[in-house]
Amino acid sequence: MKVPKRLQPLVDDGMVDEVLYQLMSGKEAQVYVVRCGDTLRCAKVFKEAQKRSFKQAVEYQEGRKVRNSRRARAMGKKTRYGQKEQEDAWLNAEVDALYRLAAAGVRVPEPLGFVDGVLLMELVADEEGKAAPRLDDVTLSPEQARDYHAQVVAEVVRMLSAGLIHGDLSEFNVLVDRNGPVIIDLPQAVNAAGNNNAERMLERDVDNMRRYFGRFAPELLKTDYGKEIWALYEAGRLHPDSKLTGRFEHSDVAANVDELMEIIDAAKEEEWERQERRRDAEEGDE
């Protein structure tokens, strides 16, 4: 196919030998399958800020560290330079998260380079060597659902042990290769220790997976891994190989009504956004 403009610098520099086809197009980025020597890889081309629709919500950015003090001050302002620096920091977040998680043994695509808003990474493949399907596109047996759910929960534990929470985990950003689930799409990755929303996001990620896999194995709907994982993390007892039970003893203290309503409203918005992502994913497959 014709080389997209944003990929031309990688071709010119010899990082990519050939652009084979577009794998997907979403709100945040377009992903292409490319040939690098004898190896097939993915090139994720992030869209420019004005062409993207994912909300760079403050709740995701809280706790992210910016090493350069000048950049940090600029990002707090609405100047053109400040907005550019904020945009760069947002894009670099996924790259940093991938390198960090790959080093921690989490099943994510191996990052291979980041040039001018293009992330070059491993192509997650199925048993035939083709691009692996999304979890949402796979029909599971009850046994597979239980197995994959256990694998995803284990990856969430490894991520949190490495200090990160996905923040938007669902069946739409998990691929299934020959060995099971692989977690993708991390621009909104949350710093667990520095973000006041971390507990809620961790539980939301885990609950999303519980609901999805529970369609195939209903007994999973009775588990409560999210709260169990967070309780271990808060107590400083979480490690990559922590043994979990899926059970959690809830407090009998009366709930704060205002806080409960905020949670309900947040859940409604999350469901709306999940449905919107589903529609976008279906449109991208057409």
- Closest of 106, 125, 143, 141 to residue 179, by C-alpha: 125
Catalytic site residue from 137, 185, 205, 265: 185
Catalytic site residue from 17, 116, 136, 168: 168
**H helices present in 6-162, as ranges:** 8-12, 58-61, 69-75, 80-103, 142-161
- Count of C-beta atoms within a 10 Å radius of residue 72: 14
Three-state DSSP class for residue 66: coil
**Which amino acid type is present at position 235?**
A
Q: How far apart are CA 187 and CA 282, in angstroms?
A: 21
Catalytic annotation present for 185: yes
- Count of C-beta atoms within a 10 Å radius of residue 153: 23
Q: How far apart are CA 94 and CA 166, in angstroms?
A: 10
Catalytic annotation present for 17: no
Q: In what order do the strands lie in the sheet with 111-115?
A: 18-25, 29-36, 39-46, 118-122, 111-115
Three-state DSSP class for residue 263: helix
- Closest of 132, 211, 203, 199 to residue 171, by C-alpha: 211
Residue with tokens 């809830």: 250
Catalytic (active-site) positions: 168, 185
